[in-house]
Structure 1
Amino acid sequence: MAPPTSETLTAERILEVTEEVLRRHGPAKATVVDVARALGVSHGSVYRHFRTKAALREAVTKRWLDRTSQTLARIAGTTDETPPEALRQWFGALFAAKRHKAGDDPELFATYTVLLADTSSVVEEHVLDLVGQLADIVGRGVREGDFAAVDDDAAATARALFDATNRFHDPAYAREWEQPGIEAEFTAVVDLVLRGLRP
């Protein structure tokens, strides 16, 4: 396969290759030159799509986080399940996605843990998106009589739910996600959360 020219080079292709470069070299050693070399183009071609190394790192981090957000958005947006069941599925999918990323590709997960610390605005946007999805589920649950929101505020309730389940989605807890009994602990927390939301 011929290397891409600057005309055929896309931002998405650059991000795909950047993931591979980060996996191979880690965030401390990976450079834009490494990405360009892997693509078979000049580093100037990469900079035409991403003006700085920081912009490239932010974009690759956002791409990684967006994969999880998109899966969760489908669950939050469905009306096929009751709000309690949607909430249980949403938290289950979030925990599964985080465990999958940490367990199946530990090198890239470690890299992203470093990148997340460097790209706080991307992380903040991601968290706001997830809390917004939770607020949609909570709001529907309140309207349908399944949930009672704290102070009638679905957004504040959603944020409290997100914070209460932090152990099962914050990368700082990744080492605990493979411990025996973690699934039972997760289920117990979600059960408690759902009981607490009952009107």
Structure 2
Amino acid sequence: MTPPPDPLTPERILEATEDVLRRYGPAKATVVDVARVLGVSHGSVYRHFRTKAALREAVTGRWLTRTELALTEILHASAQPAPAKLRQWLEALFEAKRHKAGDDPELFATYEVLMGESTVVEEHIRELVGQLREMIEEGVADGQFAVDDPAAAAQAVFDATARFHDPAYAADWQKPAIVAEFTAVSDLLLRGLRA
């Protein structure tokens, strides 16, 4: 006797959707393909995600949330001073994006397309800039950073490091000099923030 199939959950649907997107790309992947992988009807998928757009939005959000959670751990778990924490956070963001692009290029390319369709990207950026602001405020409170407007400084740090986390620059991330370039930008930013 075969065991009953696992219950259909949003998480299982999102995992299957990633597999389908990886295999077919965003232009050819359909909800029917996702349902086929799961062994259910496409109506079952639509019970969890009302539209194809909602499913794609959820997949994109799930992908971005993984990075946010890793960065939140650095933000809250570290007992390091703010400059060291900020450096570690910037390094983790850069490495997360580099690995996503290098380890799974098909899915990364798919996410580049999906991010252009999604509102979750704006939320993701707000979250990351908010985390930067929190670290800068911590550094100001400890007397390690001399910043009048932590929110503006956080946005400036995010914008100044865009080459190391914006998918538009993914082709640069495999170049031999990229780590040295990242270090030079990070050093300059941290010197500029210091009291």
Bucket of the pairwise TM-score, normalised by the shorter protein: over 0.9
TM-score w.r.t. structure 2 length? 0.97
| Code of the aligned partner of 2:68 | S
What SS is found at the alignment partner of 2:158?
helix
Aligned partners of 2:90 and 2:3: how far apart in 1? Answer: 43
Post-superposition shift, 1:148? 1.5
Query: Is residue 99–residue 177 contact of structure 1 (8 Å, CA) maintained in 2?
Result: yes
TM-score w.r.t. structure 1 length? 0.95
Aligned partners of 2:46 and 2:99: how far apart in 1? Answer: 32
| Code of the aligned partner of 1:99 | R
CA 1:165–1:36: 2 relative to 1, 3 Å? same
What SS is found at the alignment partner of 1:194?
helix
**Alignment RMSD (CA, Å):** 1.2
Does structure 1 residue 30 correspond to structure 2 residue 29? yes
How big is each residue's C-alpha offset from its partner over 1:14-64, in whole Å with a ceiling of 9 and x where there is no partner?
000000000000000000000000000000000000000000000000000
Aligned match of 2:186 in 187, 190, 198? 190
How big is each residue's C-alpha offset from its partner over 1:57-91, in whole Å with a ceiling of 9 and x where there is no partner?
00000000000000001111234111000000000
Post-superposition shift, 1:115? 0.3
Aligned partners of 1:52 and 1:157: how far apart in 2? Answer: 39
Aligned partners of 1:22 and 1:108: how far apart in 2? Answer: 7
In the comparison of the two structures, how many residue pairs are matched? 194
Alignment of 1:1-199 (within 5 A): 4=5, 8-119=7-118, 121-149=119-147, 152-199=148-195
Post-superposition shift, 1:4? 3.9
CA 1:4–1:155: 2 relative to 1, 3 Å? farther
What SS is found at the alignment partner of 1:27?
helix
Post-superposition shift, 1:186? 0.3
Gaps of 5+ in 2: none
Aligned partners of 2:75 and 2:189: how far apart in 1? Answer: 17
What SS is found at the alignment partner of 1:41?
coil
CA 1:67–1:42: 2 relative to 1, 3 Å? same
How big is each residue's C-alpha offset from its partner over 1:152-195, in whole Å with a ceiling of 9 and x where there is no partner?
22111101100010000000000000101110000000000000
Gaps of 5+ in 1: none
Aligned partners of 2:43 and 2:146: how far apart in 1? Answer: 55
What SS is found at the alignment partner of 1:16?
helix
Aligned partners of 1:58 and 1:176: how far apart in 2? Answer: 27
| Code of the aligned partner of 1:40 | G
CA 1:26–1:108: 2 relative to 1, 3 Å? same
CA 1:51–1:71: 2 relative to 1, 3 Å? same
